Structure 1
Amino acid sequence: MKSRDCIPLVTERKSCSSCLCSLIPATALLCIVYFLGSSYVAPANKEKLSMWGVTDFLQSSNKCKSQCKPLGSEPLPEGIITNTSNLQMRPLWGFPKKEKVSTSLFAVAVGIKQKDIVHKMVKKFLSSGFVVMLFHYDGIVDEWKDFAWSDQVIHVSARNQTKWWFAKRFLHPGIVWEYSYIFLWDEDLGVEDFHPKKYVSIVEREGLEISQPALDTAKSEVHHQITARGRKSIVHRRTFKHGVNRTSCDGHSKAPPCTGRECYRWIEMMAPVFSRAAWRCVWYMIQNDLIHAWGLDMQLGYCAQGDRTKNIGVVDAEYIVHYNRPTLGSTVEKNHSTLQGGNKTYSHRRGKDPRVEVRRQSYIELDIFRKRWEKAVKNDKCWADPYQ
């Protein structure tokens, strides 16, 4: 009996609530129509709209659409805006042939005196489907036309500039965003045992946002132990061996150069590989007035897109040779007796070795970059170091 008595009551409640639910949207819709219609009849009714928040909502909606557009494109319809680009070359007439789109970019600063090494590098990366970009720091471009691949690569020329100068000005994140990985290398690297496609597959599988191939210790000049190739591993993210200046690295080491917790010398700047997200961050960090990028590698960990101890590493399975040839030719002063050595110009009158001058300049830049970083961190109240 009790159950029978309860059934009508529950049914009545449901019917009442359903009626109320159906009336509320209808009433709200009528109110909106009324106020919207009255706004066209009497301007004074705009105050009513503002009281109900309708005007603010419409204005904020239009403002949001405008803010979502890239700076400078506000007057354009959204459907015509193209936010990014790529380095694919187009024919003068007709449309390009349907080819597999390149997913990675290889950029290298080159001089004509390293022609033999660069030739091998370019051939290997082109055959792997990479877009290749050459930065000619000696201003010589025509002499590269001897190679069949010359018309397939992009040539950018500016005398006596480093690859970081070129990268800041010609590898804007909006231009290279379509490439999954950006290889930004020096020219004195041997790639006989290096396979670009295999390297990319390893980096993707390991989740490395910033990386470099390991160095063949039998043929290379190794400056930092962490870059030396490990023969029993595919990737390593730290070193346990003795480093320079009697630095001992073990399982408890947290400081550089044993680990990347402070991200100092996790990778050298001669053969870095960046994911597109990491490169967008690194590009903003490159200073316009600095030359050799010393100091930049100290802070790369902040661009690792997460845990720097996991997302930065050295790939052992795909390794290269560092020949350590002199690169980046120096300007020849008038009336100086000179001797060409690689791409360097040595001045006997003053007894200066340009390599020593470069290192001195680099230490100066390192100090400048460190001071700028400390000042930026101090002045940015919204910035918090996630690794402290």
Structure 2
Amino acid sequence: MKTPSSDPMLSGSNNRPWLCIVVIAAPLIWAAYFFGSAVVVKEHKDRFVRWDMIETVQKGDISDHCRPRGREPLPKGVMVKTSNLELQPLWGPVIENNKQIGAERSLLTLAVGIKQKKVVNDIVRKFLRGNFTVMLFHYDGVVDEWKNLEWSSQVIHISAVNQTKWWFAKRFLHPDIVSEYEYIFLWDEDIGVENFDPTRYLMIVKDEGLEISQPALDTVKSDVHHLITARVSSSRVHRRMYKLRGQGRCDGHSTAPPCVGWVEMMVPVFSKAAWRCAWHMVQNDLIHAWGLDQLLGYCSQGDRTRKVGVVDSEYIVHLGLPTLGVIENNQTNSGSRLIDTRVNVRQRSFDEMQIFRQRWRDAVKEDQCWVDPYSTLKNGTPS
């Protein structure tokens, strides 16, 4: 029977090399295992951190204003945050124009019907000479009959039957689309421009610091509904009206619309900053925008008694022609006939105004962070 000392692996000088190998190898194996584990753990941790950072950015936890939500996967240099309404050729050399179109260009938009073709032609020709971009909103669905005008292919045509200019504006004049235009003219079609020059008008608006404005109305030839819009012949610009008798008195101490800080929704002109605000106030479903005029002063980028005004030296004629609500019916045996629904349109407009005013009151009540700069008015709304 062998004794333990007789085992050739454990006895004698011949076994010493094995012991040395074990003593030396054990720490090396342990070090390799430890280092390898550390590398694996670190790689896993780094991978986890990277995905965690991506997820954090996507969730908006990191405040990176250069990458608004939804644009996180894109490098900043390729993103184009705004656009414009300039037409581009289908062929020819590419002229890179991702930069702004120029600080001196403005935009005219008109809601038009084919029956006012002559009047619209006079307006568009005058504005195109002033280096304006022009967009026509066709509320009667007729587009082809404008093609014989020399400028037709130079302007943008959008058609939707029986929609108002405010319906079009909410959907096609988003602030990011029109941000490259200095001023946005949002006009009706029944306007005479014999005494109006858009270039001179903008010079006056800039000089006077008006963010929201309109040209005054010729009191002899125009259909004037609001006294503040009437032209003052001896004035360049006026910002308030005076009414010293009867209800709704206005004097030099008045601070609220319609005495001051007010323009008519027929021919408003907005700076791009004012339009960015006003666009958000336009309601998707209230297409006549009644009641909006009383609150536009909140978008005047300052004191509405100074930043909102009527330009007297460049004035227009409001022709007061029937447009929306007069429908031609071609289904009768005796030929076409006109159906006048303007009474219904007016009733809808009045109903929308009541709804809008209630929405404003509710919004003021619910928004605890909002501060009314015109707190002398109840709920910020004219009574």
| Alignment TM class, shorter chain as reference | 0.7 to 0.9
- 1:38-74 superposed Cα distances (whole Å, 9 cap, x missing partner): x99996xx9xxxxxxxxx9xx89x9656443133211
Q: What amino acid sits opposite 1:86 in the alignment?
A: N
* 1:357 corresponds to: 344
For structure 2, the residue ranges without an aligned partner over 5 or more in a row are 1-37, 46-52, 376-383
Deviation at 1:382, TM superposition (A): 1.0
The structure 2 residue matched to 1:185, chosen from 163, 187, 192, is 187
| Matches of 1:315 and 1:224, distance apart in 2 | 15
Q: Does 1:140 align with 2:138?
A: no
Larger helix fraction of residues: 1
Q: Which residue of 2 aligns with 1:299?
A: 295
Root mean square deviation of aligned Cα:
2.8
**Cα drift, residue 94 of structure 1:** 2.1
CA deviation profile, 1:216-237 (whole Å, cap 9, x unmatched) = 1011011010000011111110
In structure 1, the residue corresponding to 2:240 is in which secondary structure? coil
For 1:270-289, list aligned pairs within 5 A: 270-289=266-285
Matched with 2:28 is none
- 1:70 is matched with 68
Which amino acid counterpart does residue 240 of structure 1 have in structure 2? Y
The counterpart of 2:130, out of the listed 119, 125, 128, is: 128
Match of 1:379 among 349, 356, 366: 366
Q: 1:140: Cα distance to partner?
A: 0.4
Match of 2:25 in 1: none
* Alignment partner, residue 366 of structure 1: 353
Post-superposition offset of 1:298: 1.5
Counterpart in the other structure of 1:252 = 253
Matching residue of 1:171: 173
Cα 1:198–1:336, aligned 2, differ >3 Å: closer, same or farther? Answer: farther
2:317 aligned partner: 321
How far off is 1:241 after superposition? Answer: 4.2
Residues 40 and 380 of structure 1, relative CA distance in 2, 3 Å threshold: farther
- Secondary structure at the counterpart of residue 174 of structure 1: coil
Indicate how the Cα distance of structure 1 residues 112 and 381 shifts in structure 2: closer, same or farther if over 3 A, else same.
same
Contact 2:255/2:305 (<8 A) preserved: no
Q: Contact conserved, 1:212 with 1:267, CA < 8 A, in 2?
A: yes
Answer whether contact 2:123 2:192 (CA < 8 A) is retained: yes
For residues 64 and 358 of structure 1, do their structure 2 counterparts lie closer, same or farther at Cα, with a shift above 3 Å needed? Answer: same
Taking the aligned partners of 2:353 and 2:212, their CA distance within structure 1 comes to 21
> Which of 69, 79, 82 is matched with 2:80 structurally?
82
Question: What aligned pairs does 1:221-232 form with structure 2 within 5 A after superposition?
Answer: 221-232=223-234
Q: What amino acid sits opposite 1:193 in the alignment?
A: N
The offset of 1:357, in angstroms, is 1.8
Per the alignment, residue 198 of structure 1 pairs with 200
Q: Secondary structure at the match of 2:146?
A: helix
* Alpha-carbon contact 2:236-2:312 (below 8 Å) kept: yes
CA shift for structure 1 position 96: 7.0
For normalisation by structure 2, the TM-score amounts to 0.77
Q: CA deviation at 1:248?
A: 3.8
In structure 1, what is the equivalent of residue 153 of structure 2? 151
Query: For each residue in 1:82-103, what CA deviation from the matched residue of structure 2 results, as whole angstroms up to 9, or x when unmatched?
Result: 1111111111112478998561
Matches within 5 A, 1:331-346: 331=327, 345-346=338-339
Separation in 1, partners of 2:61, 2:368: 28
**Contact 1:211 1:315 (8 Å CA) reproduced:** yes
For residues 86 and 231 of structure 1, the distance between their equivalents in structure 2, rounded to whole angstroms, comes to 37
Gap runs ≥5 in structure 1: 1-38, 47-55, 261-265, 347-352
Describe the shift of the 1:255–1:73 C-alpha distance in structure 2 as closer, same or farther (beyond 3 A).
closer
One-letter amino acid matched to 1:72: G
**TM-score normalized with structure 1 length:** 0.76
Q: Call closer, same or farther: CA 1:185–1:337 in 2, change over 3 Å.
A: farther
Amino acid at match of 1:155: H
